[in-house]
Amino acid sequence: MNSLRFPIVTIGTDGLWLDEEVDPAGLCPASGQALPLSRLGLRGHLTPLDGEEFLFRGTVTGVFSHACDRCLEEAAFPFEVAATWRFVSAEPVVSGGEVILTAEELDDPAADYTYTAGELDLVPALWEEAEMAFPEKFLCREECRGLCPGCGGNLNERTCACKAAPETDINPGLAGLKDLFPDLPEQPSEE
């Protein structure tokens, strides 16, 4: 059984404290893309609100394991984010055998997540937080020097002695555009 799935009857009026380490394998939804997570954790308090609403406040922590984008060495990228999730029931409200509110009427734009069958599942919310924490760029450290463009050696480990072309030849920038387009006029036209 998933350790992040709770029958609502087990959540008392004082709520439920959570401190869970979760195996990230198998948490990815069928429509999602797997993340390079080596660790994922959740810590916080699940509180019942008025009616059939619940609020979770806490932190999501984890570690991405991925190659550095500059030097290609495998590195760990820890993260910690604050999380606040509101859950509402997706089932119709029934009173005296009569449906008072349907699922469509219960569609609450202020709610983050819904639950059904009297059970809260925190996995979709946890996975979404991990996806949002995914870095745009993986750097083993900010001052990573990367790889030598000549021999491919890791410049963090040693100073390269190869005869690589000067950096201006490798990446000429805007100054190099003139050489790439020799037929262009030197002066801008007066149009």
Closest of 43, 42, 52 to residue 11, by C-alpha: 52
For residue 76, give every residue at least 6 positions away whose Cβ sits within 8 Å of its Cβ, in sequence order, or none. Answer: 38, 63, 64, 65
- The CB-side HSE value for 153 (13 A sphere, CA atoms) comes to 12
pLDDT at 183: 79
Residue 133: its H or E element: helix 123-133
Dihedral over Cα of 124, 129, 146, 67: its sign: negative
pLDDT tens readout for residues 59-112: 999 999 999 999 999 999 999 999 999 998 876 555 565 655 544 455 544 458
pLDDT tens readout for residues 124-175: 999 999 999 999 999 999 899 998 888 888 898 888 777 654 554 445 556 5
